[in-house]
Structure 1
Amino acid sequence: MSTTQSFAGRFVSGLGDLLLRYQSGIRRMQWMMIAAYVALLVVPLALPLPGGSDYIWNNLARFVQFVFWGVWWPFVILGTALVGRFWCGLLCPEGALSEFASERGAGRAIPSWMKWSGWPVVAFISTTIYGQLTSIYQYPKPAALLLGGSTLAAMVVGARYGKAKRVWCRFLCPVSGVFGTVSKVAPLHFRVESDAWKRSSPAEAAGVNCAPLIPIKTMQGSSACHMCGRCSGHRGAIRLAWRKPAADIVFGSGRMAARWDTILIIPILLGLVPAALHWTASGAFQAMRTWLVERCVELGLMWPLSLRLPWWLLTNYPSVNDVMNVVDAVSLLAFVALGAFTSSVLFLLPLVAATTILRRTRKVVHHLAQAMIPLATSSLFCGLLALTTSQLRSDGINLPGVDAARGALVVVAGLWSVGLFFRISSVYCRSINRRIIATAPIAMAVAAFSATWLFMFLGG
């Protein structure tokens, strides 16, 4: 090991120990985040909707909108990909409040239905679609309802189940699955050395409260780890450490991937989410909407075109000429469903074919699908970054080269995913020829997906 590598290893290990040493300071920082979070949710509710002459720098509502959706959401995703789930363990207001409520709550046993592995995916789909139907990125009321409602639910769950735990974060949080998936490419993790654990004496080690309920002795990877630092140095076996990016995908928790992990990556992150973030600029959406409008007119059905629902069901802000009718909503739902279906066909068929070529069972599909995490992560980040650039451009601020940079990021991530797929195939097959043949179809799928993004960024 080189001197530089040794220094880097000691540095991050020491950083983990600092997190353990300053847990009280982290708690105070969390309460500061909670205060800022509540203020950003509540204050805009008392302000009028921004007009055409309002900008980020002179209107508080616009500023809050930019902070939430232009800064927080995309860059938390980026941070998770770069360093892991430190946001969850150190800064997240929702997680901190849930644990606070759990410390003082009933401490009941967690019911079996709550442990269903599909809840985070279902919750993420629901909140994503609901946010689009109510224009959460544009208006404070749906943002307060969705984010505030989620926080309230986290506190209720914490007050009822577990003791000083983050039951909500582990089993129900709408973004826990996304953060866990994205964190698999991070070069940092809390490493558990099983040999050191066995050599240590349990009597000499103080107890560790793992809030997200991870069996730290047998922890593989870091997808569920909140990186809070409380277990740093425990029994001399747990340390914050470097790892090769995406090593967890090939040799760690990626091998334990199951159906819901694949559903989150393929139809959701690579299909539904891009469609949900770009439907307003899509010609396909406009064509679907036009077709539905024409059918309604032909059949004499005017209520789908004129019915206005409350803002908490569909976007309804006539004062700024922004109203979504039933046809708009149905078109949106059909469009995101089409996005999920298209990505499923594009990626799942090559994945299934690969298992046949590699002469493995269909269960291997879930591990192979993990190779698409870099592509899914870049797609999510670049899609969310559109919220940043669109708000800045509406205020006359243009970032030169940002579209080209987003396109390049997706292409590089696509190449990384293809390389990961080839590496994962080595776990199941020694034949280079078979691995190349198995990789070729998924490489074509990645190329088609990346080309779509490039056209959107550079040609659309």
Structure 2
Amino acid sequence: MHVSEDNVIPCRNVDVVPQQQGRMLWLERFFFKYRSYIGLVHFAVFWVFLALLFVPLFLDEVSETDTVFTHFTLLANYTMWGLWFPLVFLSVIFTGRSWCGLLCPMGAASEYINKFGLHLKIPAFIRWEGMPIISFLIITTLGQTVGVRDHPEAIAYVFGSVMLAAIIIGYLYGRNNRVWCRHMCPIGLMLGLFSRLGVVQFFPKRPSHGADQYHESSLCPTMIDLRHKKESRHCIECFKCVHPEAKSSLIVRARAPGEEVENIHSHNPNWAEVWFFFLGTGSALGGFLWLVLPLYQDLRQALGEWFIEHDQFWIGESGPWWLMSVHPERREVYNWLDFMTIVGFMTAVMLVFATAMFLLNLLSSSIAHAGTGKDRRQFWGSYVELAYQYMPVAMVSLLIGLGGKIFELLGLVGLGSNGILTIKLVLFGISLLWSLWLGWRIQTVQAVPLGRKVPGQIVGTLTSLFIAACWWPAIFGI
């Protein structure tokens, strides 16, 4: 059965790219030849991942003199936050979602257990495109309240829970596919969104016209109707659909960075990604700003005083370990006041950021398209397309913020703080220029007249600067 995505903006019925342009036939042949070994890679990564999560739980406490070279707990923490996250995040530019299909232990475990599962019909609430947004927001917020970046117990709890959920979903739903990866993975949607900027594309040799379609009986484990494939976000690059000689398979081609976003009208722009971009980025931003802004401490103090004045002393009591950080041995014990203020502050930042982004992009879209004779659906379709222009600056902000530990490695090899700061600023500058270029190209494809394009671009520039300014305190300090 074919099911169209509910909130996809219809794309024009055109072939997206010339078929053979940039084809990487050598890569197709390599993975076709060695495809049988991918399962062994999954098996190895699965056990390495389990070791990183759970071995630190059985080790002694880290001392002040320990380093990543003397204590496995520190090595595991740095591997997760200084190598794994930033490198996987950055890899989508160069290799798309290859992590998901070739290495990810969670998706692989979910797909493997599915072979022995119940094969139940996928419920509508799981197929809802807002589900991975909710999943991301829950994991992001929970990670902050339990201290996932600092405590091995929190890392094991959060990532272990995600893996367990992936296995359960794989056992219950679907047949020979990855329901978790397509519909619920909190990381997959983020990687899928930014993979649109990537230089790798899987494209059908015999493409069918029209929008991407959802097909639960497809060869594709993420249920892409391969004949209609035009977007990158759901493709996990498992290479199951690639056969160098078969006429009905997909080819792998290299493309210019950002090509898909420049021509986003032909690659199924959709509201789900835009809302994830606005809300997810805002939530991650809030997860850093509460650590550095004096405003958070002022609000926490005022709220605590209000509770005490009203004899609500329970606010100072510690809660359960699965909701908040409770580590007296490391001098960190959160109470209900901490939990409420962290969650509340992150939620407030998310809503303010998302609202500001929505309005700024609305202003840019109105300048470009209001009064041009477009009906409401066409206007909002153009709005969604223009929202993709901010992806580079948001991606680099997330990379430097969430994956900031990778820069510690540069310090270990002798690069000073000024050098590290320069690298961060250069990355920021490149991402800003890239966002400006994408905004200009998207408006060009939309046939926006020059007299409207320039002021619309000015607003787009201000919006990109707004994103950078929001992340500045979290990345560079106040």
Does the 8 Å contact 2:261/2:389 carry over to 1?
Answer: yes
Match of 2:132 among 104, 120, 129: 120
CA–CA distance in structure 1, aligned partners of residues 387 and 285 of structure 2: 18
Does the 8 Å contact 1:131/1:137 carry over to 2?
Answer: yes
> What pairs up with 1:21-40 in 2 under 5 angstroms?
21-40=33-52
Does the 8 Å contact 2:81/2:405 carry over to 1?
Answer: yes
Match of 1:406 among 424, 434, 456: 424
CA–CA distance in structure 1, aligned partners of residues 340 and 113 of structure 2: 39
Change (3 A) 1:392 1:318: farther
Instruction: Please list every run of 5 or more consecutive structure 2 residues that lacks an aligned counterpart in the other structure.
Output: 1-19, 210-216
2:316 corresponds to 1:316: no
Aligned-partner SS, 1:362: helix
Whichever residue aligns with residue 229 of structure 2, its letter is: M
Name 1:277's counterpart in structure 2.
288
2:315 corresponds to 1:304: yes
Name 1:204's counterpart in structure 2.
none
CA–CA distance in structure 2, aligned partners of residues 50 and 392 of structure 1: 23
CA–CA distance in structure 1, aligned partners of residues 423 and 399 of structure 2: 12
2:434 corresponds to 1:434: no
CA–CA distance in structure 1, aligned partners of residues 422 and 299 of structure 2: 29
Change (3 A) 1:255 1:406: same
Name 1:201's counterpart in structure 2.
none
Instruction: State which drifts further: 319-328 or 448-457.
Output: 448-457
Does the 8 Å contact 1:265/1:372 carry over to 2?
Answer: no
CA–CA distance in structure 2, aligned partners of residues 428 and 322 of structure 1: 53
User: Taking structure 2 as the reference length, what is the TM-score of the superposition?
Assistant: 0.85
Change (3 A) 1:267 1:155: closer
Does the 8 Å contact 1:254/1:370 carry over to 2?
Answer: no
CA–CA distance in structure 2, aligned partners of residues 119 and 137 of structure 1: 24
Deviations 1:168-216 (CA, angstroms, capped at 9, x unpaired)? 1111111111011010100111122336x89xxxxxxxx9831111111
Q: CA RMSD in A?
A: 2.7
2:391 corresponds to 1:354: no
Whichever residue aligns with residue 421 of structure 2, its letter is: D
CA–CA distance in structure 1, aligned partners of residues 36 and 221 of structure 2: 15
Deviations 1:41-67 (CA, angstroms, capped at 9, x unpaired)? 221111233232222111111111111
Whose relative contact order is higher, 1 or 2, with alpha carbons under 8 Å and at least 6 apart? 2
Does the 8 Å contact 1:109/1:161 carry over to 2?
Answer: yes
CA–CA distance in structure 2, aligned partners of residues 244 and 395 of structure 1: 32
CA–CA distance in structure 2, aligned partners of residues 133 and 9 of structure 1: 46
Name 1:292's counterpart in structure 2.
303
Aligned-partner SS, 1:256: coil
Does the 8 Å contact 2:176/2:221 carry over to 1?
Answer: yes
Q: Please state how far the C-alpha of 1:129 moved relative to its aligned partner.
A: 0.2
Between the two proteins, what is the percent identity of the paired residues? 25
Q: Please state how far the C-alpha of 1:138 moved relative to its aligned partner.
A: 1.1
Change (3 A) 1:457 1:112: closer
Change (3 A) 1:114 1:455: closer
CA–CA distance in structure 1, aligned partners of residues 125 and 363 of structure 2: 34
Whichever residue aligns with residue 420 of structure 1, its letter is: L
Change (3 A) 1:403 1:63: same
Name 2:234's counterpart in structure 1.
224
Instruction: State which drifts further: 100-109 or 384-393.
Output: 384-393
2:57 corresponds to 1:57: no
**Greater helix share, structure number:** 1
Instruction: Please list every run of 5 or more consecutive structure 1 residues that lacks an aligned counterpart in the other structure.
Output: 1-6, 199-206
2:123 corresponds to 1:111: yes
Q: Please state how far the C-alpha of 1:454 moved relative to its aligned partner.
A: 4.5
